[in-house]
Structures are given as structure tokens and as C-alpha cells.
Structure 1
């Protein structure tokens, strides 16, 4: 019998906060402030919408920036390819020039001339610096 009493007392303590039934719903005796909760939810929802729109703009900006960089890298790659073509053509011409002995002698002569010219130029500059 005491078991039955314990069961009843635990049941009444469980449903103690309920006053009764109202339109098929249970109504609690403590009036929970639904308006404040909905207001807080609306604030949180607005804040979340602001954050989502900010993140959307941010991802759009990142996408634009990445596209700009991709285009710039493509142009740079094309320029490097054309420069590589020009350099390989120049190297092929140098190879042809150095294959013949007469051309090799002419290149040596031009190199010596340029070297002597640079030495004379720097000596004259040095003399002007010393006098001045």
C-alpha cells in the first residue's frame, strides 16, 4: 500500500505545476513569457540573417578576387610562353653563329672591342673624378 501512495505522490509532484486542460493543450501555472522568447528569437534570426548576408557578400568578393588573380596568372603564363619562344629562337641563332670558325672569330673581336671600350670609359670617369 505504501508503494501505491509513493506512486500517487510522485505523480502529483510531477503534474503539480499543471492547472488543467485548455483547448486540448496543457496550461502551466507559471506563465512562461512567450513574447520575450519570440522577441529574442526574432533578434537572433535578424542577427543570423545579417551574418549570412555578410558571409554571402564576403564569399562573392573572394570569388571575384580569385577570378581576377586567375586571369592575371593566365596572362602571365602566356607572356612567359612567348618570352620562352623568343629566347629559344635567340639561342638557336647564337648556336648557328658559334658553329662557324669565322663567325666565332668575329664574335671574339666584337667582345674584345666592347671590353676595351668599357675599360677606357671607366678610366676616363675615374680621371674626371680624381680631377673634380
Structure 2
């Protein structure tokens, strides 16, 4: 009886790597390599997605920088125009004989604001 057990255990040890139909199972080393290859493929996909995402972010940042530069130039130009206008108003208000001019400017300004709000 002992010999039968030995025969069965020897037979199991001999055919341990085989499955039905003669197909051999992969060794643990081959399985680890296969899993590593899948993990590498997954990481490459993620890296490609991140590259595309950072490229899109870079383009958007460049676009915003251009918009901010244009807005800065426009603000500088409007600051120049506004300072000239303020200087003219100072001259108008410094002269005592030009009270009528100040009233006229204020009425034009009020009229302009009224028309602006009505059209908006």
C-alpha cells in the first residue's frame, strides 16, 4: 500500500506542471514578467496621457500670458489717455470763469451715462 502512495506522489510530482491536453503552466518567473509587461504598458499609457495633458496646459498658459500682455498694453495706453483727460479737467476746474464749462462737462457726462445705461 505504501508503494501505491509513493507511485501516486511520484506521478503527481512528475506531471505537476502539466494540465489536461498536454499544455504546460507558466512558471512564476514567466507570470511575473507578464505582469510586469502589463504594468509597464499601463504606465506608458498614463505617461502618454499626462504628456498630452501637460501639453494642453502649456498651450493654455501661453495663451493666457498673451492675453495678459495685451491687456497690460491696453491698460498702459488707457492710463495715458486718462491722465491727459484728468489734466484737462484740472485746468478747467482751476479757472473760476469756467464754472459754466464744468457744468457743461458734467451734463454731457450725465447724458452719456444715461444713454449708455439705456442701450445696455
Pick the TM interval, shorter chain. 0.5 to 0.7
Look up the SS of the partner of 1:80 in the other structure: helix
* Residue 34 of structure 1: how far off its partner (Å): 1.7
Q: Name the counterpart of 2:9.
A: none
Q: Structure 2 vs 1, CA of residues 106 and 60 (structure 1 numbering), >3 Å: closer, same or farther?
A: closer
Q: How many residues are paired up?
A: 84
Q: Structure 2 vs 1, CA of residues 111 and 40 (structure 1 numbering), >3 Å: closer, same or farther?
A: closer
TM-score (ref. length: structure 2):
0.61
Q: 1:77 aligns with which of 72, 77, 94?
A: 72
Could you give the per-residue CA deviations for residues 58-100 of structure 1, whole angstroms, max 9, x where no partner exists? 1111111111111111111111111111110000011111222
* Residue 103 of structure 1: how far off its partner (Å): 1.5
TM-score (ref. length: structure 1):
0.56
Unaligned runs of 5+ in 2: 1-25, 112-120
Q: Determine the C-alpha separation between the residues in 2 that align with 1:58 and 1:76.
A: 27
Stretches (4+) displaced over 2 A? 104-108
Compare the two structures and name the one with the higher strand fraction: 1
Unaligned runs of 5+ in 1: 1-30, 119-132
